[in-house]
Structure 1
Amino acid sequence: MNRRKMVVATAFVTSALALTACGGGSDPLDTSSGDSDTAASSDTIVVGSANFSENELLAEIYAGALEAKGVKVEKKLNIGSRETYVPALEDGSIDLLPEYSGNLLSYLDSDTEAVSSDDVYAALPAALPEGLSVLEQSTAEDKDAAVVTKETADKYSLTSIADLKDKDLVLGGPPEWKTRATGVPGFEKNYGVEFKSFKSLDAGGTLTINALKNGQVDVADVFTTDPNIAAEGWVILEDPKNQFAAQNVVPLINKDKASQTVTDALNAVSAALTTENLTDMMEEVVMDAKEPADVADEFLTENKLS
């Protein structure tokens, strides 16, 4: 949402952009190696992505839509979490990245009380660092969710996150969940839930999916568009206190690069994206092992955006 990570080979990303699941390898934001010794020129949009497959897919869609309008594009995919890519946006290492409204707002303003799609989107501009802006958000939504197997749900009578209280279970999620308001601190603050332990995995990716399948964790952060939920018959626990706010897909961009051509192209993508077609695309990526770039091309063609 590594968040559902699959290792994706991208022909046009140089080896300097490689990032392993444990954080090794070359720095994906290093512009001192590769084909150019300087950062991208002012007329080039550098499209980044977080380190999970859905975000890579969305970045490929953004890049393809811009290229179709004649915009020069450079891609720096699989950068990492917000702790890495937000500063990269601020310093101009990247210009554009697909974001999720609620988690972005929570990252920028841990005290926010906005939870609905409209309220979250309305609160974002004031919370954003200077020089960054969001364009039109899509109706497509992919939320973090506390997910358990059907066996665990039946054993402990679990239907809501509140039911996890005093159950002595193991939680699995991305490393940042140890400190983020949507992770361990949020479960304790919102529901009084303390877990036996927290297992640091990845952002809804193969480590998390396999840990839940194999019983290494009892509760896992799995994203709501992940096809494994339906395929495995897993249970999404209800979140009556809105620990996880609305998570609409929205372009986060440097204001200096948001020309009318760029804005129009990205807003057209947002208008075409829905939760349903995003879920369908993720099934192709996760279950059918299709390359995100190929799935992105199909989406752009079907929606007359290329």
Structure 2
Amino acid sequence: MTAVANESRRTRPVVAAVLTACAASGVLQACASQVLDEAPSSTTVIVAAGERPGEELLAQLYAGALRSSGIDVQVRSGLVDPPALLDAAEVTLVPGYTGRILSSYDPGADPTDAEDVFEALARALPDELTISDYASAQDRAVLLANRGQLGQWSVSEVADLVADCPRLTFAVTADFASAGGLDALERTGCHPREIRRIDDPQSVAVASEPDTVVGTTTTSPALAEVDADSPVGTIPDAADRTARDDANAAEGDSPVFPAQNVVPVFRKGTLGETQLDALRTIAGELTTGDLTELRARLEAGEDPESVAREWIAEHA
């Protein structure tokens, strides 16, 4: 499968990431105290999952990582609105994707770079909630098109499409829309001739149609059909910036599509330092390639808990 842009392996310690989130919200001392104190050993951590198999998979991954710290963990699956239960303190942790979660708490937010999205999310969360570090694994919006047509249009990255949008049809999946793809294109001034919805398995075939661009996401099984010899290719987006701490580094363009890194949102005071350290398994090891493979196994009929348990056993 073609490598996906905007992914880099992250190894920053989880504790440092929590402190970064707290600093971004301007309450470092209080947040550090609430989050890093050891949770009572009798506490049962409840990880919530929505109704889709991919949400169940993330819940089982985080549950498995937390169990490795020696605490009791339960997974509640098939929930209609896990964030609402988190707000109501009926569950402890809800995993998701940075950009999607940010848009639910701050619909007007428009950062796209991975660190900017993460920091904006830290600021947007209610006082009783926090996050730890995010994984490199993403379910981010991505565009596909015929390579020959891209050459004719002189398009080398997503931002180059804007001038051609009025004569193009965009065929997009539901995941592309939920990942903020359509909103992001609108912000760039891209106004397609037509926008139509397709199912993900149609992505590569439809991308071969004249004057058509397909929008899907980076964990789409359809991307397995795209390689260097395929007539259809992905349209690169600007890379997430990595030289953020170097004051002399030139700052390039931000990506068009918002980052959608896997991240846990949880209630303050419920996880101790040992549990936060266990979350490093996800933050430091889970890649987009891993997530794509695991989701493909779910589509083949495997059980989310078994799939997650195998991954944790290999990476813990």
TM range (shorter): 0.5 to 0.7
2:182 pairs, out of 181, 184, 201, with 184
Corresponding residue to 2:279 among 266, 272, 295: 266
Query: Which of 178, 202, 212 is matched with 2:203 structurally?
Result: 212
* Residue identity matched to 1:61: L
Say which SS state the counterpart of residue 166 (structure 2) adopts. Answer: coil
Verify: 1:140 aligned to 2:145, yes or no: no
Matched residue, 1:223: 217
Q: SS where residue 264 of structure 2 aligns?
A: strand
Matched, 1:115 2:115: no
Tell me the alpha carbon deviations over residues 77-130 of structure 1, each in whole angstroms, 9 at most, x when there is no partner: 3446xxx33323212243212222233224433444533323332332211123
The 3 A distance-change label for structure 1 pair 222 and 291 is farther
Give the aligned partner of residue 63 of structure 1: 63
Specify every segment of 5 or more residues in structure 1 that has no aligned partner in the other structure, as ranges. Answer: 1-41, 202-207
- The runs of 5 or more residues in structure 2 that have no matched partner are 1-41, 239-253
Equivalent-residue separation in structure 2 for 1:87 and 1:219 (angstroms): 36
Note if 1:300 corresponds to 2:291.
no
Aligned to 1:242: 255
1:184-212: per-residue Cα shift (whole Å, max 9, x none)? 3432221322352443x7xxxxxx21343
Query: Compared with structure 1, are the counterparts of its residues 290 and 186 closer, same or farther at alpha carbon in structure 2 (3 Å cutoff)?
Result: same
Deviations 1:144-200 (A, max 9, x none): 2233466986897765444350124243333893xx79243432221322352443x
C-alpha distance in 2, partners of 1:192/1:170? 10
Q: How does 1:1-306 map to 2 (within 5 A)?
A: 43-79=43-79, 84-148=81-145, 160-161=157-158, 162-163=160-161, 165-174=165-174, 177=177, 182-199=180-197, 208-212=199-203, 215=206, 219-231=213-225, 233=230, 234-240=232-238, 242-286=255-299, 288-303=300-315, 305=316
Per-residue Cα deviation, 1:199-232 (whole angstroms, up to 9, x for no partner): 3x7xxxxxx2134366499544422133321325
The structure with higher relative contact order (CA 8 Å, sep 6+) is 2
Q: What is the alpha-carbon distance in structure 1 between the residues aligned to residue 290 and residue 175 of structure 2?
A: 29
CA distance in 1, matches of 2:107, 2:137: 23
Q: 1:253: Cα distance to partner?
A: 0.9
Contact 1:110 1:181 in 2 (8 A): no
What is the alpha-carbon root mean square deviation over aligned residues? 3.5
CA contact (8 A) 1:187 1:194 kept: no
CA contact (8 A) 1:188 1:194 kept: no
What do residues 241-267 of structure 1 show as CA deviations (whole Å, max 9, x unaligned)?
623123322111122422334323223
Structure whose residues are more often helix by fraction: 2
Identity of aligned residues (%): 26
TM-score (norm 1): 0.66
Tell me the secondary structure at the aligned position of residue 166 of structure 1.
helix
Distance 1:184 1:174 in 2: 10
- Residue by residue over 1:37-56, the C-alpha shift from the partner in whole angstroms, topping out at 9 and shown as x without a partner, is xxxxx822221234444332
Which amino acid counterpart does residue 169 of structure 1 have in structure 2? Answer: T
Change (3 A) 1:147 1:97: farther
TM-aligned CA deviation for residue 284 of structure 1: 3.6
Native 8 Å contact 1:95 1:254 kept in 2:
yes
| Native 8 Å contact 1:101 1:120 kept in 2 | yes
Q: TM-score, normalised by structure 2?
A: 0.64
Output the CA distance in 2 between the equivalents of 1:292 and 1:57.
Answer: 5
Of stretches 152-161 and 114-123 in structure 1, the one that deviates more from structure 2 is 152-161
Amino acid at match of 2:201: N
